[in-house]
Chains A and B, each alone.
Chain A
Amino acid sequence: MKKILSAALVATMLTTPAAWARDVKIGFVTTLTTGAAVIGNDIKKAVDLAMEHIGGKMAGLNVQLIYADDGFKPETGKQATDKLVKQDNVDFVAGYVWSHVLLASRKSVLDAGKFLISANAGPSPIAGKLCNRNFFSTSWQNDQTPMAMGEVLNQKGVKSLYIIAPNYAAGKNMVAGVERTFKGKILGKDMTTWPTQLDFSAELAKAKASGAEALFIFYPGKAGGAFIKQYQQAGMKDVMPLYTVFTVDALSLPKLQKAGFTDILGSQFTQEWDPSLDNAQNKRFVADFKAKYGSYPSFYAAQAYDAIFLIKSAVEAVNGNLDDIDGMRAAMKSASFPSVRGKFTYGNNHFPIQNFYLREVVKDADGNWTTKVVKTVYENNQDPYASQCPLK
């Protein structure tokens, strides 16, 4: 019985269209419902733009792009991934904003021998003990960005710091990251309930009372906007300058500008990318994104745009022979595609070894709020979990 069944399965797999002359199928899993859809929509814009830029073709083959919604839930994300892998039989599965969705879905993709490309989530297990030769990241590992921020604080001579972050896995990673590199004293630390707590009055009062020189926070999504408003309402800009990671982005800045929260101007944060980075790929991406959608792209968008070009480089390296998994893997590993963040290399765990920049919120020529690069904090930085990954 079992044998017959597996024979039937093999038979159906063999009867799928021949390897050549077929389409390149890419499944893109992101969040298109709930309030978090604002991130997914920005990612989708970038992917659509990337498709336009490559003319819908890779190595002469048509590209078929299938979007799937994870609904911000691990189970839904896994189910969407299963459908892409088993039903649509895609060659690449990319996307994944959230760590828990990526962790829940990874086995479905990797067990089927397909490529998994994370365009945002970078939880430590996937960089370390759970690393896989068919996994690639076009973003970062969670710890890297706050480590760069800790370094910035040292360089600025900040002696004491207060930390406020949400009490969940990524929040703890961010805090651990900044604690790892910051050499001054940490005068206090609050971990708030995630994602429900959006009123930070108690934490801000504590931070103010602590007398620390600076405030470090990590609040992605709408919590970031909420925090910044309350920071301004509490009048803390002159008392405790604000340093953030993944809190201020191109999605929150227009809203904050519209509501007049000027205290965010001049605030600094670290990241691997910025719209002002000077390379041909980035200039084209940012200019066309602004022309087409009327806003600056977010870092989510930039990473998703990169994911499409990473895939393109793999397909072209094997001249469209999508069965040449080894060839495509080697091509991606070489990171030879033009990235919007500039040249980088891949580590043994297939996370980028890349620069991290200090960004600052400024007004552009048209008066819109955006960011510019102040300086390079880290050059060719590798995440601390790479050594736990058995891959060479």
Chain B
Amino acid sequence: MKSLDRTGWITVGVMLLLGVLPPFFYWIGNEFYLLLATRLVILAIAAVSLNLILGYGGMASFGHAAFVGIGAYAMGIPVYHEFYGGFSAAASTNGLFQLALSVGLSALFALITGAISLRTRGVYFIMITMAFAQMVFYLFQSLDEYGGDDGLVIEMRSELPWINLDHPLQMYLLSFVSLVVAMGVVHMIVNSRFGMVLRGAKGNDERLVTLGFNTYLYRLTAYVIAGAICGFAGWLTANFSTFVSPSMMGWGRSGELMFMVILGGAATALGPVLGAAAFILIEEILSSFTVYWHLPFGLMLIGVVLFARGGLLGMLQGRGRGK
């Protein structure tokens, strides 16, 4: 095993903190911080998956929240039918079945929309992914059976072997381990031959095409993998909140995921996690001081862009603009 560089140490350190601190708070009786951390970690998984295509692949998806929503509804709808009948083929409280559904449907949606969207580049890609996400948003908003705009209350968390998701600590640990696995998977992908092509195509697509690579297929594969991971994050979200609503997948949410990745540091392993943490923690801290907390938060975002190239991780690495 090769030795860690500075970024590696920072990554390990932050992840250790994230693994130990919330359970410790729970231990001393402060369950709220565990819940806060659970939401953070699940968002981080979605951000990590977006980073695979946005950071490494240069595909800025502005519709990523749709995958979270599809994954969450794919968990909630089987439970709904289990409790209230109708559509018995999908009725189930079995977590593994729901998980397969969440990941499978998100991947399928990514495959279909990706195949069309990837014909475009740059800002056109940003907007076409947003268009598909808005279609899903309005679809679920109009599905009265599943609560429409009010959302769907999920009566029961997924049933899994050995794990009880009703237990907040187990819910957290599952989410945390999932985040570590997701980071590992993305790390493996980008450092494989596949990842080299993906990253190469971001920098110079034509050269790789001339070399005989079908970069479109590489991009599409990455897009589907990202969609699947994000669908998994949706399954976790549904289990954490026991509620899902279309507002989880509006363009504003997709934007927030994008901002998290850029803020934390795109194309880095830890960046998306830092970005998600910054969004959640700053909101929690600033909003306890003033209802006008968006103002300092906005100034901070501008400051990061102006003075910290490479986002928050870049700042931690001491790669600020002035250095």
B30 x A194 contact (CB < 8 A): no
Q: How far is A193 from B167 in the complex, measured between Cα atoms in Å?
A: 39
Q: Mark B225-260, 1 if CB is under 8 A from A, else 0.
A: 000000000000000011101011000000000000
Q: Which residues of B contact A100 (CB under 8 A)?
A: 149-151, 245, 247
A125 to B36, CA, bound (A): 27
> CB-CB < 8 A to B245: which residues of A?
74, 100, 103-104
Q: How distant is A339 from chain B, measured CB to nearest CB, in Å?
A: 26
Q: Does B200 contact A (CB under 8 A)?
A: no
User: For the complex, is B32 an interface residue (Cβ under 8 Å from A)?
Assistant: yes
CB distance A125 to B147 under 8 Å? yes
> Which one, B7-15, B21-29, B302-310, is touching chain A?
B21-29
- A86 to B32, Cβ gap below 8 A? yes
Chain B min CB distance to A312 (Å):
27
- Pick the residue among B150, B153, B167, B294 that contacts A33 (CB under 8 A): B294
B155 to chain A, nearest CB (A): 8
In angstroms, Cα B288 to Cα A33, docked, is 12
Beta-carbon nearest neighbor of A80 in chain B: B287
Interface residues of B in 283-315 (CB under 8 A from A): 283-284, 287, 291, 293-294
Contact between chains at B150 and A12 (CB < 8 Å): no
> Which A residues, 86 to 137, have Cβ-Cβ distances below 8 Å to chain B?
86-87, 99-100, 103-104, 106-107, 123, 125, 129-130
B167 pairs with A2, CB closer than 8 A: yes
Taken residue by residue from 272 to 302, chain A's Cβ proximity to chain B (1 for < 8 Å, 0 otherwise) reads as 0000000000000000000000000000000
Residues in B neighbouring A86, C-beta threshold 8 A:
30-32, 35
Contacts of A193 in B (CB 8 A): 138
CB distance from B103 to the nearest CB of A (A): 22
Asked if B32 and A87 make an inter-chain contact with CB atoms under 8 angstroms apart, the answer reads yes
Tell me if A74 and B247 are in contact (CB < 8 A).
yes
Segment at the B interface, from A166-174, A210-218, A356-364: A166-174
Whether B142 pairs with A169 at a CB distance below 8 angstroms is: no
Residues of chain B lying within 8 A (CB to CB) of residue A194: 141, 149
Cβ contacts A70-96/B at 8 Å (1 or 0 each): 000111101100110011000000000
B206, CB-defined interface residue at 8 Å = no
Let me know if B169 is at the binding interface, CB within 8 A: yes
Q: Residues of B at under 8 Å CB distance from A?
A: 26-32, 35-36, 39, 84, 138, 141-142, 144, 147-151, 153, 167, 169, 241-243, 245, 247-248, 283-284, 287, 291, 293-294
For the complex, what is the distance from the CA of A11 to the CA of B28, rounded to whole Å? 10
Within 8 A of B (CB), among A190-221: 193-194
23 contacts between A and B (CB under 8 A): A8-B27, A9-B26, A9-B31, A11-B29, A13-B29, A33-B294, A74-B151, A74-B247, A74-B248, A75-B241, A78-B243, A86-B31, A86-B35, A87-B31, A103-B150, A104-B243, A107-B243, A125-B147, A125-B153, A167-B142, A168-B149, A169-B147, A169-B148
Cα separation A130 to B167 with both chains bound (whole Å): 22
The answer to whether A5 has its CB under 8 Å from any CB of chain B is: yes
A69-B287 contact, Cβ under 8 Å, with A82-B32, A82-B35, A130-B153: yes
A interface, CB within 8 angstroms of B: 2, 5, 8-9, 11-13, 32-33, 37, 69, 73-76, 78-79, 82-83, 86-87, 99-100, 103-104, 106-107, 123, 125, 129-130, 167-170, 172, 193-194
Closest residue of chain B to A191 (Cβ to Cβ) is B142
Q: In the assembled complex, which residues on chain B have CB atoms less than 8 Å from the CB atom of A169?
A: 144, 147-150
Q: Is the CB of A103 within 8 A of B291?
A: no
Tell me which residues across on chain B come within 8 A of A11, comparing CB atoms: 29
A32 touches B32 (CB 8 A): no
Establish whether residues B30 and A87, one from each chain, have CB atoms under 8 Å apart when the complex forms: yes
Give the shortest distance, in Å, between A309 (CB) and chain B (any CB).
26
Across-interface contacts of A170 in B (CB, < 8 A): 149-150
Within the complex, the shortest CB–CB distance from B156 to chain A, in Å, comes to: 11
**A348 CA / B1 CA spacing, docked (Å):** 66
A32-B150 in contact (CB<8A): no
Known contacts A2-B167, A103-B153, A172-B148: does B32 contact A83 (CB below 8 Å)?
yes
Collect the chain B residues with CB atoms within 8 Å of residue A75's CB.
39, 241, 248
Shortest beta-carbon contacts, A-B, top 3: A12-B29, A168-B149, A169-B150
Query: Which residues of B sit under 8 angstroms from A168, Cβ to Cβ?
Result: 141, 148-150
Q: Which residues of B contact A83 (CB under 8 A)?
A: 32, 36
Q: Closest residue to B83 on the A side, CB-wise? A: A129
Q: In the docked arrangement, what's the CA distance between A77 and B151, Å?
A: 14
| A88 (CB) vs chain B CBs: closest residue | B32
**Closest residue of chain A to B243, judged by CB?**
A104
Is A79 touching B39 in the complex (CB atoms < 8 A)? Answer: yes
B169 neighbours in A (Cβ, 8 Å): 5
A78: chain B residues within 8 A (beta carbon): 241, 243
Which residues of chain A are within 8 angstroms of B167 by Cβ–Cβ distance?
2
Taken together as a complex, chains A and B put the C-alpha atoms of A367 and B287 apart, in Å, by: 40
Task: Using CB atoms, name the residue of chain B closest to A123.
Answer: B150
**Identity of the chain B residue whose Cβ is nearest the Cβ of A82 in the assembled complex:** B35
Quick one: closest A residue to B283, CB to CB?
A76
Contact with A8, one of B29, B142, B147 (Cβ below 8 angstroms): B29
Let me know if B32 and A103 touch, CB within 8 A: no
Which B residue sits closest to A194, measured CB to CB? B149
In angstroms, how far is the closest chain B Cβ from the Cβ of A165?
Answer: 12
Query: Given known contacts A5-B27, A9-B31, A79-B284, what 16 new A-B pairs fall within 8 Å (CB)?
Result: A5-B169, A8-B27, A12-B28, A13-B29, A37-B291, A69-B287, A82-B36, A86-B30, A86-B31, A100-B245, A103-B147, A103-B151, A103-B153, A104-B243, A167-B142, A170-B150
